[in-house]
Amino acid sequence: MFLIVSKYLIPKGFRGLTVFPFVILRGKNDLDFEVLLRHEKIHIRQQLELLVVPFFIWYGLEYLFRLVQYRNKRLAYRNISFEREAYANEKDPDFLQSRSFWNFRKYLLR
């Protein structure tokens, strides 16, 4: 994982973005925010499991599905299975050690 700090590469309203093997953070103070880094590490694992490119295809298609479902960009984003898994487990320091393969599937139908 390579950490990059750049406020210009992060969409407005977000603090981090992960594109394997890079984690891009909005500001230097985010480097010390363990919960944010753990959230992004969960995305790294998800991307590796789906071999990166299929992850982004799935992510984009699921976002579009959720956008139709919720008719709200923020709700659509928060209900993508990858995001639901990351947000639900970002505060657990041991999560990645015990996480099962393709664990995000548990969050698809919730």
Cross-strand pairs, 25: 5, 16
Strand 2-5 with 16-19, pairing: unpaired
The residues, ordered by sequence, that sit 6+ positions from 60 with a Cβ below 8 Å of its Cβ are: none
Rounded to an integer, the average pLDDT of 58-73 is 98
The pTM of the whole model exceeds 0.85 = yes
Reported as a pLDDT band with limits 50, 70 and 90, residue 78 is very high
Compute the distance between CA of residue 8 and CA of residue 24 in angstroms, rounded to an integer. Answer: 10
- On average, the pLDDT of the chain sits at 96
Crossing angle for the helix pair 81-89 and 53-70, to the nearest 10 degrees: 100
Question: Residue 82 in contact with residue 46, Cβ under 8 Å?
Answer: yes
Mean pLDDT of the 31-36 span? 95
Predicted confidence (pLDDT) at residue 110 exceeds the cutoff of 90? no
Q: Over range 9-21, report the average pLDDT.
A: 95
pLDDT above 90 for 79: yes
| pLDDT of 35 strictly over 90 | yes
